[in-house]
Each structure stands twice: as structure tokens, then as C-alpha cells.
Structure 1
Amino acid sequence: MQALRSGDARERARSIQVAQDALDAAKAVALSELQISRDHELDGASTLNAWVRNELRLNAGQAAVLARNVTALDELPRVAEVAAAGRISAAHVRVFVDGLAHVGVGKMREFEDVFVEVALAHDPGELFETVKHLKDVVQPEELDDAWEKGMDKEDFQVDAVPDGWHVNGFLNTTTGAKLKQVLDSVSAPRDAEDTRTGSQRRVQGLDDLLTSILGSGLPSDKGVKPHLSVFVDAETLQAAAHHVQQTTEQPAHVSDLMPQVEPATLAGHGAIGPNLLMYFACVSDFTAFLVKANGDAQAQILNAGRECYQPNQLQRRSVIARQNGVCASPRCHHTHLEIHHVVWWSLGGTTDLDLLIGLCSRCHHLLHRGRLHIAGNAADGFTFTTRTGRPLKRRRRTDYHRAA
């Protein structure tokens, strides 16, 4: 103990931390042996968690963390080795526990050496992001599951309270990204002498934006979409298109899984799944870039292709007129429409007027989430079915020509 009270304070702090990490690992190893032998029952504890609470005098949360860390040290020998040497912390070990639970033992063992090197050089947060990236690569469908769950619980309320307005809610991935893009733009510091806090700038920026909108009239659809940036390589786009085609058009006959490729990235949000990527591909313009990766944060752009455009204004107006300005989906009466390629543009579909259909944002999302399917063309009529194949009311050709 005397050695811990003398000498360079920096070295003492480092030595204490190494000793603490090593003790945490040693405690986890001892608990692992206790769990195997079940000797905790000798003290009247039916579970290891209960023994930890009773004998080590830890609360339930701390006991649960220790018990989970036992799993990581049992399954990952390299992690156990560096943890026992005090080279990584208990917080690092907890990240490995999460990886085992959400990525799987096989993949965590496959990349164990890589993850250990990250843990040795970086804090637990950086290790978590590395493990999460692997999860996004091997389980892209979970990204779409998260998007779908967000769509199902979205809500937004602005309620008057005595001292102002209370804003509350939850936004799906796309809407939230649009809002953040706008707020980031309008709340940027004006100059080096702008001393307002971030919250003050955001509120003032929103106030300026609303004042501008009200001063020039309420917003209307001018054919200009909010600008969001999605970055995806050609291999991912092709794999995502194939994966979505298999899972949405033939949900009962899916035999192949999406290959392991880098997920697409929505700027300001993070990785997105193949279904959401295909939705963006459907409603957005995009430009192809030839890129040389340098291993740095920025890549070298070698060439930029021409921008790929969606249906022109005349085609858009023709589709809207053909449908009397109403969503084509049966029993839907929304009038703010997005233009969809029945044969998906990302799967080789052409921008042919008879193969374009107008859907409201909600129905369009349902389609890209595999809950709604559309076949046919405007000349012969479109057929709508649910994800289980149950047909919905078919729209006849005459329905699209009443406006004429």
C-alpha cells in the first residue's frame, strides 16, 4: 500500500488501473469456476447472481454484469488472457459480452484477435463501434427491423403548456434525418463571436425557419426533395437489390442470404439496411463516383458519373392525373404522392409511364418493407397483394382515366 502512496502520480494511477482490471478479470475467472462447480449452493444461493449479491455485497445490476462477464471469458480465450493481465478493463469485457449476444459466438471468435487489438489501443466506446460494424455487416436485416419498428411507433406532438409549448415524440429514420439536416443547417454559429449555446441556436434557427415559411406561404410540393446523402458502393447496392427482391417478392421461397458486404450509410445517422436503401434508391437521384480508398477518413474521387434522374415533371404530373391525385393503393385516400417504379429501377426497371405508379409516403414505405406488393401496369391494371399474398381490390384501367 505504501508503494501506491509515493512516486509519480501518473504512474501510480496507471498501475492502480492495471491492477484493478486484472483483479476484475481474476474475479470473473473465479466466478466462472464457481458457476461450473455450483459451490455457490453451499452458501445457500441457488444462482451465481444471488451468491454475488449476498457474499460480495453488490447490487443486482453489478452482480448481473459480473455474471455476464464470465461468459465472455469462457468463450473467448484471447480476451480472457489480456483481461487477466490487466491490459483491458471490465468495460471492454462487457462489450465482448454484448458481441456474443448480438453477433454470435462464431463470428466473435473469427474476429477475436482483431477486436482484442482494438480493445488494447482504444476505449470501450471505440470497441463497441467496431463490434457493431461487424453486426451491421453480417445481420443487415436487423437494421431494417429497427427502421420498421421506428415506423410503427412514430409520433409527434406539440402541446401548449403554461410557459410555452412542449414538443414530444419519436421520428422514424428518414423523417428524423431530414429534421436533423434542417436543424443543423439553420442552427450553425453565425460567426466566431456567436456565443449562443447549441440549444439557443437550434430554437432560434427553427423560429427563423418557421417565420420564413409563414411569411412566404405554407409549403407545397414543387418537385424538390429534401437533400439527404446516402453513401453505398456498387457491390452493396447490387446485393441489397437482390436480397430485397427475394424477401419481398418471394417471401415464402427465400433460400439465400445477403452476402457479407459493407452496409450503406445515411449521412448523420449511420448504417442502414437493404430495404431502406432500396426505398432511397426509389425516390432519390444519385451519382456514381469512381473512388480510390486510401485507408484514410477521406477517399480520392477519381471520376464522377452523370446524375441518374427519376421520372421528369411531365411524367410525374401524368401519373398524378391518371390517379385523380390519390394514392393508388386500395382504400388509401392520401394525396401527397411519391412516384414508384413497379419494376424497381434498382432491379433494371425502366422509367416507362405505364410502369410508374403514385403512392403516398406511408404506402410506399409499406411496399419497401415487404408488407405490400404491386404487379401489372397502368394499361391492364395494377394488382395489389399483402405480404401473405392476400389480394386487395384491383384498380381497373378506367379508374386511371377519369381525370381525362
Structure 2
Amino acid sequence: MFDSSRYAALNEAFDAVVEMPHEFADTMQTRAALRTLQAMSDRAEGLRARLLRQMDETGAYADDGASSTLSWARRELRLSAASTARLRVAGRTMQVLPGVGEAMLAGEIRLDHVAQFTGGLRRVDTAVLADATQQILLPLAKQAAPSDLAVAIDRLDEVTHPSKVDEAWRRGMDRRDVQVTRAGDGYHLAGFVDIVLGAKLASFLVAASAPRSTGPGEADGPAGSASCADERPASQRRTDALHELLDTAIADGIPGDKGVRPQLHVTVEAEWLSHQPGSAPPTLQGYGVIGPDLYGYLACEGDHTTVLTHGTTSGRTPYAAVLNVGRTRRLATRAQRVAVRVQQDGHCAAPGCSHTNLELHHVSWWERDGGRTDLVDLVGLCRACHLAVHAGRLGVERDEAGGFVFRRLHGPSRRAIEDRDRIHRRRFRDYLHALGVARDGAFEPASRQQVTAPCGSPERHRAGMVEVSITKR
């Protein structure tokens, strides 16, 4: 039986909370209050979505003389048409995917997560999405941002409809255009570029706009001194990088060996090259999954490096024996840098960090601990996380499975930081592999039969990854 008096009691309870002297809350109480309010807000959004969906089905809006739920919500709740539509669609998604509805009403996910599930229902077979939601996507949504959930649903769509990936590439090629138009005090740069050009531009900007030890026109100072810090905002560093690129092109022609040579990095499993069921398709760093046609185009003009990921040598990391250099040199070799980047999907290894400019750190420090330049002892960290390790704010140590454990070093305990992203990536990769094996005969693209290993027979790379680096010749 529905008891409307509970809503009145809820309103009175909230009034009491609002009247509390929040200015006297300590830092721990402030953080706890914000977490509670966020969860309550998310739960309330879920309940609104359910009730608006119920109003759609019952026609309750007509009792107030409204012609639709949309007009009723605009008049009675002062909601915009867009907000109402979003809630109504979310209510339907919560019905179709009951687990999502339960999580929303429990405050475990928010409306932005539900919107991603809604988009998934439009693209992915409902039965496939429902199974993936229960097994993988909902646990991910409870711990990750909506953008991470969107990437996972895109990946699911790509596995079940692989031809879409190359179709998107071709559509992008047809839309290419760049325009520079005078606008006020400067110029407006606008347009749309295809996947390859966009990835090249993004790769260049990431590399060329990284903070420098000495800004343009500044005198060199002692390492680590304040005068050496690059205080330019990221927006200025990106535009400065374009300035330098164009200056070089105008003065010396297209950048060559002495200029900045941005690279595109494509990783592809040897199992995919040998057409094994359930293998993951190629990935273009900075963009995502690409199809066999685009991979074939990129592989034609790229340098190829085989990176072993499992093999027959001994040790916790069986491929490391061919890459380790021990104490013979301090700096990592190029092969080790490639291997670390592939292992970490091109991102900083610190949990929750997504930066891509990596510096290699010896987990057992070279001088202090007598560390070795071996793959098992090298971890890729962005500059900020690397500095945090050396400043004693962040700890990193090897685990017993060839990976790394990060710990917070501030406070009374050395608490380990749960690497939720890595856990979910591994679970999702396993799930997609099983899905690919089960559905392989149903969705294998015809063009896949024309894909061949760029470095010879696929059999020679069955135990590894192929790294394709494309540079401007």
C-alpha cells in the first residue's frame, strides 16, 4: 500500500538537516555529508525517472488538464523538455534493465550512467547488453565515471558489430574539412578530421605541449628550481606547439629527423592476425578500436615491433629475459619502453591516472636500492605521479604476479589503492573474449580474411603483440 505520509516525513527530516549548523562540521563530517547528499540526490533522480515513466503509462497527467507528461512536468515541476525527456527515457531503461534500476534507486549509480545504458540499448542487442550489464557493465558503473562506462559499451558494440568501425572511418573521410576564419581579435579554427589525421594531431599536441623544464625565452636554471618550472597553462602550450610546428614548416619544410616526429601507436594481438576466435581487434592509441581496413592502411606505412607478452622463458614475467639489462645500464632500452607502454595501454600505471606522457621508474630505486633495469622492475608513470613517488607521497611496489601495488603514504597507515580500472579492464577483456568465441561465426567481417601479419607469417607472433608505429616520412 502506498503511504504518501512518508513523503511528508521525508520533507520534515530534510528541513531538519538543512537547519543544522554546517559551518561547525569538521573535515571528515563535511566529506561524509557530501557523499550522503550525492547518494540521496542520485536516488531521488532515479525515483523521479520511475514516476515520470509511470505517469506516461497511466496517463495521470490528464487529471491535471495536461496533454502529456512533457507539458505537465514543464508546468508543475518547471522542468525543461530536455530534462523531462531524459528522465522518461531513463525510466524505460530502468524497466528494461532491472539491475540498473535497482542500482539507481540504491544510489550506487547516477542518471548519467543510466543515459549510457540507454544509448547501449539503441545499438546493442538487448539480450547481449542485459547479460553484459549483469556480468560486467553494472559493476563497472558502480565504481567508474559515466565516460568509462561509455567506452565499455562502445567496445561491446564494436565486438558485436565489427563492420561499424571501418564504416565510421569511411564516413569520417567524407566529412574532412578544416577552416580558418577571421574572428574578432584572432582566427577561429574549425572543421572535422578523419581518424588518422585526428590521431596524428592529438599525438603531436600531447608530445609537443608537455611542460618543459624551461619556458620559451627563459634562462636555464638549476634542475628543480622554481625558475625552471613551465608555468604556461595547457591551452597556451598547445597553441605554442602549433606555432613551432608551422615555424619549422615555413623555414625548413615538413619536419624531418631533427624536428618533432609524433608517432601513432597501434597494438594488435597476434591471435587477431592469425584469425583466432575471440581475439581483440587492433587499437589505435588515443582513439580506440579500429577495423581491419584501417589497420591494413596504417600497417602499410608503419614500422613494426614484436612485443612478447608470454613465451617459454622462466620467471614471473616469462618474456622479460630477452629484454632485461640488469645493472649494465640505468636508462631503459627502447624495447623496454615499448613493452611497458603496451602493458599499460599507454597510460600511467597509478590507479585512476589517465595521463599518457610516461617516464620509466625503477620500483627498486637504482641508487638507493641497487635496482636493476629489468622489465619486472620498471613501471611507467606520468611526471606528476613520478614526482609524488620521489616526494614520498605515493608508494609503489611489486606484487607477486608481475604487476604493481600503489599505496598512500600520508596518514597513519600505508593503505593500498585499489586499482579498479585494471580489475575491470581485465574482467571486461575476458568477457569480450568469451563473447567473441561464442559469436565468431556470426559476425566475422569478410575483410578480415585479407588481413595478414605485417612482419611475416602470423604464426611467428602467436605469443605476443605487434606494435605498429607510424611516423611522418
| TM beyond 0.5 | yes
Partner of 1:82: 103
Deviation at 1:268, TM superposition (A): 2.1
Q: Which residue, 167, 176, 182 being the options, matches 1:145?
A: 167
- Residue type at the aligned position of 1:262: A
1:216 correspondence with 2:252: yes
Match of 1:187 in 2: 209
Secondary structure (helix, strand or coil) at the match of 2:117 reads: helix
Task: Give every structure 1 segment of 4 or more consecutive aligned residues whose post-TM-superposition deviation is greater than 6 Å.
Answer: 348-351
Candidates 215, 223, 232, aligned match of 1:196: 232
Structure 1: give runs of 5+ residues left out of the alignment: 241-258, 294-298, 307-343, 352-404
Sequence identity (%): 33
Q: Which amino acid aligns with 2:285?
A: A
Q: Deviations over 1:177-208 (max 9, x none)?
A: 22232333333322152222223223333333
CA distance in 2, matches of 1:16, 1:349: 55
The alpha carbon displacement at 1:291 in A equals 0.9
Amino acid at match of 2:207: S
Distance 1:283 1:68 in 2: 46
What secondary structure does 2:210 align onto? Answer: coil
In the TM superposition, residue 279 of structure 1 has moved relative to its aligned partner by 1.6
Distance in 2, matches of 1:106 and 1:47, equals 31
- Name which one, 1 or 2, has greater alpha-carbon Rg: 1
Residues 165 and 79 of structure 1: CA distance in aligned 2, closer, same or farther (over 3 Å): closer
Q: Which of residues 346, 351, 356 is equivalent to 2:451?
A: 346
Q: Distance in 2 between matches of 1:92 and 1:10?
A: 23
Q: Are the counterparts in 2 of residues 138 and 260 from structure 1 also a CA contact under 8 Å? A: no
How far 1:93 moved relative to its partner? 1.8
Match in the other structure for 1:361: none
The one-letter code sitting in structure 2 at the alignment partner of 1:136 is E
Is 2:23 the counterpart of 1:2?
Answer: no
Pick one of 28, 33, 37 that aligns with 2:49: 28
Query: Corresponding residue for 2:286?
Result: 268
- Contact 1:159–1:166 (Cα < 8 Å) also in 2: yes
Contact 1:150 1:173 in 2 (8 A): yes
Equivalent in 302, 308, 311 of residue 290 of structure 1: 308
- Contact 2:299-2:454 at 8 Å conserved across structures: no
User: How much does 1:143 deviate?
Assistant: 2.3
Partner-residue secondary structure (3-state), 1:83: helix
1:61-82 Cα deviation digits (max 9, x unpaired)? 1111111111111111111122
Aligned counterparts of 1:287 and 1:90: Cα–Cα separation in 2: 43
Aligned partners of 2:158 and 2:165 also within 8 Å: yes
Write out aligned runs for 1:234-245 (5 A).
234-239=270-275
Question: In structure 2, what is the Cα distance between the partners aligned to 1:47 and 1:260?
Answer: 47
Alpha carbon RMSD of aligned pairs, Å? Answer: 3.5
**Which moves more between the two structures, 190-199 or 62-71?**
190-199
What's the CA shift for 1:46? 4.4
Secondary structure of the 2:264 match is coil
Q: 2:80 & 2:184 partners in 1: Cα distance?
A: 41
Match among 113, 127, 136 for residue 92 of structure 1:
113
**Alpha-carbon contact 1:49-1:67 (below 8 Å) kept:** no
C-alpha contact 2:271 2:279 (8 A) present in aligned 1: yes
Contact 2:248 2:254 in 1 (8 A): no
Contact 1:236/1:263 (CA < 8 Å) preserved in 2?
yes
Question: Residue 59 in 1 paired to residue 95 in 2?
Answer: no
Q: Which amino acid aligns with 1:232?
A: V
Find the counterpart in structure 1 of residue 155 from structure 2.
133
Task: State the AA in 1 paired with 2:205.
Answer: L
Once the two structures are TM-superposed, the CA of residue 164 in structure 1 deviates from its matched residue by 5.0
Q: 1:280 corresponds to which residue?
A: 298
SS state of the match for residue 262, structure 1? Answer: coil
For 1:154 and 1:175, how far apart are their aligned partners in 2?
9
* Residues 31 and 284 (structure 1), Cα distance of their counterparts in 2 relative to 1, 3 Å cut: same
Higher-RCO chain (CA-CA 8 Å, sequence separation at least 6): 2
Q: For residue 86 of structure 1, give the secondary structure of its aligned residue in structure 2.
A: coil
8 Å Cα contact 2:73-2:79 kept in structure 1: yes
> Matched residue of 2:230: which SS?
coil
* Residues 268 and 11 of structure 1: CA distance in aligned 2, closer, same or farther (over 3 Å): closer
Tell me what 1:122 maps to.
Answer: 144
TM-score scaled by length of structure 1: 0.61
8 Å Cα contact 2:292-2:451 kept in structure 1? no
Partner residue in 2 for 1:360: none
Moved more, 73-82 or 206-215: 206-215
